[in-house]
Structure 1
Amino acid sequence: MCYACDAFTRIEPNYQELEDKDIPKVECNGVRVSVIAGESLGIKSPVYTRTPTMYLDIVLQPGAVLHQPIPEGWNAFAYILEGEATFGTVDSPTISAHHTVQLSPGDGVSIWNKPGSASRVVLIGGQPLNEPVVQYGPFVMNTWDEIKQAVHDFQHARNGFEKAGSWHSDPVALE
């Protein structure tokens, strides 16, 4: 049984693996963008997404700005990994590292790095699916009936859970 809603096309799962050397990167006017998914500064990622998606890893040198288009109607957010960044106009408040900025709908965003040190930001966005979401533990589906079926399949090692009994995670020691 596939868990996709009957209104949607049922598809097999897919996996793509890219090494860092396969991710296109572009530099322009003090901005370096790794285009993991989507497009930026005229460079398009080879990653295939079923729903239009953008995932950009951006480094801005002091004084640099990136004007990044975001298609109308998409949801998008930015997370500041290092340094500080300003979103919108150069006079907007500066946001420090380890904060998330939820972007409002529009046709794009300007990200500024006022003079100081380099900033690193990830910009993630995509076309909304507009589907119902039901979550129970690690299971996320569209309806409670699909949740019950997923739990049943997990308990009986079926439909993608055939090897679940031998799955394990090794904790990573943080230094």
Structure 2
Amino acid sequence: MSGDPRTVVRKFLARPQHEGAGAVVRRSIGRFELKYFDPFLVLDEFSLTAPAGFPDHPHRGFETVTYMLQGSVTHEDFEGHKGTIGAGDLQWMTAGRGIVHSEMPASHGTQKGLQLWINLSSRHKMIEPRYQEIESSDIAEANEDGVNVRVIAGESLGIRSPIYTRTPTMFLDFTLEPGAQIKQPVPESWNVFVYVLEGEGVFGKSRSSSTTAHHLLLLGPGDRLKAWNRSSKTLRFILVGGEPIGQPVVQWGPFVMNTQEEIDQTIQDFENFENGFEKARYWRSEATQDQEF
């Protein structure tokens, strides 16, 4: 590593807001102050308590990464795909040309997790939908000097994730015990951020002020991140980076394309049940049918 360590250039507190059908999210990317951080469209820390959830809704033109922190969520789509992801499990869904699905609580109490939307380049926006799902026990994990890392995507402490990312992406879940520190390499050309889940930590420079839970940190140029846990409690955060796509972004709700004409065509396709949305005409998820919204 011959470059410079990355420093914090912007900092946001993700405040709770309502989304979906009664769900509460802390949105840090995709908000008024930060609409897009190429290639990342949305980052939500979500909280669901039945009957709240995300009933049937469409997507086109990007990928969604759902990483459960507590409880479990059942997802269904109009292709007949159905499953439940629990605490520590991961679903990496490529919406591509079109998907309609639901994400609803699968257990009692409050379900918590993260959902990240990653943009696709113009040549990948209309590919066929696909899923990659990894159970918690199969996520690559390493421990070293008071640092635990779960490698969702990319590489850390000598281990690599099997997840395939069409838009080159790293997604690391770090837990630092009191007194621990890390130095994580990141590609110099990528956009990189940190989101703090619990505890408080120092990021970028050793003399920086501590950052607490629910804060998003955008990192400046450099080839590595340094972080320290100087508190008496455990620090947990995600480090996410991606290769910028550098193409125009036109978004209309759950549709993300490159031009307004493509968005207009997507809306028409969805309303007319064609060009990827054919199966939406008669489909409703079981979870949504069981609830009244």
Please say whether Structure 1 and Structure 2 have the same fold, judged by a TM-score greater than 0.5: yes
Identical positions, percent: 52
Corresponding position of 1:138: 254
Q: How does 1:22-101 map to 2 (within 5 A)?
A: 22-101=138-217
In the alignment, structure 2 segments of 5+ residues that lack a partner are: 1-96, 99-120, 289-293
- Offset of 1:77 from its aligned partner? 0.5
Corresponding position of 2:65: none
Q: Secondary structure at the match of 1:163?
A: helix
Offset from partner CA, 1:114-154 (integer Å, 9 cap, x none) = 13100100111111111110012322111011101100100
Corresponding position of 1:173: none
In the TM superposition, structure 1's runs of 4+ consecutive aligned residues that sit over 2 Å from their partners are 2-5, 8-14, 162-170
Q: How many residues align?
A: 167
- Offset of 1:90 from its aligned partner? 1.9
Alignment partners' CA distance in 1, 2:235 and 2:253: 36
In the alignment, structure 1 segments of 5+ residues that lack a partner are: 171-175
Corresponding position of 1:116: 232
TM-score calculated relative to the size of structure 2: 0.54
Offset from partner CA, 1:59-101 (integer Å, 9 cap, x none) = 0000101101110110011010000011112211110111010
TM-score calculated relative to the size of structure 1: 0.88
- Offset of 1:36 from its aligned partner? 0.3
Q: Secondary structure at the match of 2:245?
A: coil
Higher strand proportion (structure 1 or 2): 2
Corresponding position of 2:7: none
